[in-house]
Structure 1
Amino acid sequence: MARNIGSQYTTERVLGRGSAGTVWLGRGPDGPVAIKLLREDLAADPELVERFTHERRTLLGLEHPRIVGVRELVISEDGTDLALVMDLVRGADLRAHLTRHRRLAPADAVALVVDVADALAVAHRAGVVHRDVKPENILLDATGHAPRALLADFGVAQLIDEPRRGTTSRVVGTPDYIAPEIVEGLPSRAPVDIYALATVLYELLAGFTPFGGGHTGAVLRRHVTETAAPLPGLPDELWELLQQCLAKAPASRLRAAELASRLRELQPVLRGLPALDIESGEESDAPVRERAGAEESTEEAETPRGAVALVRGSVSDPDRVTHTRMRVPDAEELAGGANGTARLPRTPGQRRAGSARHGAAERRRRLAVTLGAALLAVALVVVGVLALA
């Protein structure tokens, strides 16, 4: 159903839907466009509208062949519409492409990631962090001989997800692609995009993400505590590059321009290599979200991990140290006690070690023992006196 957006644009049909709103095929003074119409609750948020207005020049100023350009920001007078008018890309997104092909040959995967890294380099120099790099936000221009990648929704996630006044920060984003520092509540800076893009590259090569699968909490924990499993058959140079960009420490990751340059250097080595032959153990197309209701213990014991094909992917980080040098509880703490962190199984009625009730019961026990010992001593003295008499 046609709908007027502002005074110059009209929507024609829905192209896709996301968590922030709906993307429409539209038409404007210069021809076809894509119009991202934000949800009504977002458009009705005056703080959000203010942020978009404040960042309007930055959003409109990001120009690069590998960036889906924003042509206009439209805010209706009655406050019902908040829309981004963007360039129209003739092609599917990377998620649809990956669904069809499951895995890409290393050279094809790297070529697409180079395009995205080039886009990120331009944005990061302008001080813009994407914060939601994932296959759904990577569009493929299919007009040429080989598909080229374009990154969409620059800065939108950051503007929408910034904490409102009087609220606390929260973990926002797609769990499979979230960097460890976001999980731990640190600011989202350029390295979070590099981590997410490396995760996308891993997924293009393997058919699954390195830390995905199961309950959201389990996925977030793996980002912080586990390392990605090596991919059999992948050239060592490419694997080392992936590891560096998946580092827990943001400062250890490459910058976007460095990543693009290093990947270009590897392209001659990768040319002609087939897609990796990885036995997943469960070549199922069923989305992970259908299994997300299962308990984490069941997921980790029986169901392999992954975002596309579920496989056993992650291994424990032997250092058990994150980028923030977060202290890991020792064995004594995990066993409980006054400073314990673990709530170990216990029988009904048994107090948890370290709890207030446990401490009170322990004090009462010590008092009873002390009083008992004192009474016994008095009794012994009395008995001795009587014996002498």
Structure 2
Amino acid sequence: MARKIGSRYTANQILGRGSAGTVWLGEGPDGPVAVKLLREDLASDQELVGRFVQERTALLGLEHPHIVSVRDLVVDGNDLALVMDLVRGTDLRTRLERERRLAPEAAVAIVADVADGLAAAHAAGVVHRDVKPENVLLDMQGPLGPGGAHPALLTDFGVAKLIDSPKRTRATKIIGTPDYLAPEIVEGLPPRAAVDIYALATVLYELLAGFTPFGGGHPGAVLRRHVTETVAPLPGIPDELWQLIVQCLAKAPASRLRASELGARLREQLPMLVGMAPLDVDEPEAESDEEGPQEAPAPAVPGEPVRRRGAVPLVPGAKPDSNRDTHTSMRVPGPDELAGGARGTARVPRASGAPRPGSARHRAAARRRRITLGVAGVVLAAAIGVGAWAATSGDDQPPQDTHSTSTP
């Protein structure tokens, strides 16, 4: 059912729902638009409305080919909405769930587009704060780029900052999505441009591997890994590309590349990635000692695509929707909690088909190896014994006459 948004826009059809609000296909004076209508409880927060108005100039000034432009901000009664350009396509999460992982050339081309958009935003003093596949749109009507990738545009600028009001979060809450949160945010420091670089490097890792480097298990364990663990090597990609990922996932914000540098360095990698097939690695499973219950994987349904894990939602019991928006807030872990986790390398990706360490398959394989080695040892010992017996027994035999005789 159509509804009016302010005096200039009409929302005609729901495109998706998320934790922050609902996205509508709308119509404005200049044609079709996308309207993100924030939740009513957010619209009734006068402090947030004030921040909404304050951010108007910054958000309306963001113009770049790889940013979904905000055309208008509407405050009308109980309605609080961002009116944005309509992108004819899908979001990156949908493609990732369909293909599980992308060929390196396409993955790098998409992330380079997003890095270019972030560079423009950072130059304007705007930090996104919630970079993730759900917030990257692929323009299906745009020209194909390297690896057959459609142009990528970053959307939802300003939403994290608008929701993250002092009254709502104070210093004890985290705004964002666990899998993509930079360690300085987990430790309660103010988010700056470097947090977007960390999140974007996490997205690149996920596009290549099919899973995030520090994800899996309880959200608290995910946050702890960001602070205490280093990223595990991802086999099968050029070392120079891997070093870019490692640098942008550095714990120290100052060690990461700037968005403009990252975009340029990624495009330099593209010629080396032409024709390279998607990586063939399996996702490491969550450790058995993670805090909180582990969710059993859903059984496969014949004829339906397998749903892979993306970001870990922080809203208990949240129902999936077309937007899969997991952006929300949670408590900042204390120093003792962060120190309680394992320190070292994050969960190491396994070669495709290899058993998970500690699993029944892994124990059975180890048992077979032990049996094989034991049998080989027995056979070797027997062979040595037979050889020794033959050598010593040969010394005890009387000499044989090898000359032939003839009877007269």
**Could you tell me the TM-score, scaled by structure 2's length?**
0.70
| Cα offset, 1:167, TM superposition | 3.8
User: In the alignment, residue 187 of structure 1 is paired with which amino acid?
Assistant: P
1:296 is matched with which residue: 291, 294, 303? 291
Q: Distance in 2 between matches of 1:197 and 1:276?
A: 19
Query: What is residue 180 of structure 1 aligned with on the other side?
Result: 183
Judge conservation of contact 1:36–1:83 (CA < 8 Å) in 2: yes
Distance change (3 Å), C-alpha of 1:162 and 1:25:
same
Distance in 1, Cα, partners of 2:224 & 2:163? 24
**Judging changes above 3 Å, is the alpha-carbon distance between structure 1 residues 87 and 327 closer, same or farther for their aligned structure 2 residues?**
closer
Is the contact between residue 59 and residue 158 of structure 2 (CA under 8 Å) also seen in structure 1? yes
2:123 aligned with 1:120: no
Structure 1: runs of 5 or more not aligned:
283-287, 311-323, 330-389
Partner Cα distance (2:168, 2:20) in 1: 20
> What amino acid does structure 1 have at the position aligned with 2:190?
P
For residue 170 of structure 1, report the CA deviation from its aligned partner.
1.1
Tell me if the contact between 2:228 and 2:339 (Cα under 8 Å) persists in the aligned partners. Answer: no
Query: Structure 1 33/191 Cα, relative in aligned 2: closer, same or farther at 3 Å?
Result: same
Name 1:99's counterpart in structure 2: 97
Instruction: Work out which of the residue numbers 131, 136, 142 in structure 1 matches 2:134.
Output: 136
SS in 2 for 1:113: helix
1:257 and 2:260 aligned: yes
Partner of 2:52: 52
- Give the match's secondary structure for 2:15: strand
The unaligned stretches of length 5 or more in structure 2 are 145-149, 298-306, 311-334, 341-408
The residue type paired with residue 29 of structure 1 is: P
CA–CA distance in 1 between the matches of 2:17 and 2:161?
Answer: 18
- Return the match for 1:204 from 202, 207, 211: 207
Offset at residue 169 of structure 1 (A): 3.9
Per the normalisation by structure 1, the TM-score is: 0.73
Superimposed CA distance per residue, residues 250-277 of structure 1 (whole angstroms, 9 cap, x where no aligned partner):
0000000000010011111111111101
Superposed CA offset, 1:39-58 (max 9, x none) = 00000000101001011010
Q: CA deviation at 1:280?
A: 3.6
User: Structure 1 residues 2 and 309, CA, compared in 2 at 3 Å: closer, same or farther?
Assistant: closer
Q: 1:221 aligns with which of 215, 219, 224?
A: 224
The corresponding residue for 1:271 is: 274
Deviation at 1:299, TM superposition (A): 5.0
Partner of 2:65 in structure 1? 65
- The residue aligned with 1:85 is 83
Q: Which residue of 2 aligns with 1:109?
A: 107
Preserved contact between residue 102 and residue 207 of structure 2 (Cα < 8 Å): yes
1:235-250 residue pairs with structure 2 within 5 A?
A: 235-250=238-253
Conservation of the 8 A alpha-carbon contact between 1:191 and 1:253: yes
> Residues 171 and 188 of structure 2 are in contact (CA less than 8 Å); yes or no, is this contact kept in structure 1?
no
Match of 2:174, SS state, is coil
1:341 aligned residue: none
Shift of 1:33: 0.3
Determine if the alignment matches structure 1 residue 191 to structure 2 residue 189.
no
Pick closer, same or farther for the CA change 1:167–1:236 going to 2, 3 Å. closer
Percent of aligned pairs with the same residue? 69
Measure, in 2, the Cα distance between the counterparts of 1:117 and 1:35. Answer: 25
Q: Is the 8 A contact 2:66 2:113 kept in 1?
A: yes
The structural deviation recorded for 1:99 is: 0.6
Say what the alpha-carbon RMSD is for the aligned residues: 2.7
Structure 1's 247 and 141: CA in aligned 2 closer, same or farther, altered over 3 A? same
**Contact preservation (8 Å) 2:37, 2:79:** yes
Residue 308 of structure 1 corresponds to 308
Matches of 1:180 and 1:297, distance apart in 2:
21
CA–CA distance in structure 2, aligned partners of residues 167 and 296 of structure 1: 26
Question: 4+ residue stretches of structure 1 with deviation over 2 A?
Answer: 165-169, 279-282, 294-300, 307-310, 326-329
Listed one character per residue, the Cα deviations across residues 159-200 of structure 1 (whole Å, up to 9, x for unaligned) are 211322894341111000000000000000000000000000
Instruction: Pick one of 224, 233, 236 that aligns with 1:230.
Output: 233
| Change in 2 beyond 3 A, CA 1:69/1:166 | closer
* AA partner of residue 209 (structure 2): A
Q: Deviations over 1:329-365 (max 9, x none)?
A: 9xxxxxxxxxxxxxxxxxxxxxxxxxxxxxxxxxxxx
Count of aligned positions = 301
Distance 2:117 2:14 in 1: 26
Q: Quick check: 44-53 or 166-175, which moved more? A: 166-175
Contact 1:280 1:309 (C-alpha < 8 Å) held by counterparts: no
Q: How far apart, CA to CA, are the structure 1 residues paired with 2:57 and 2:30?
A: 20
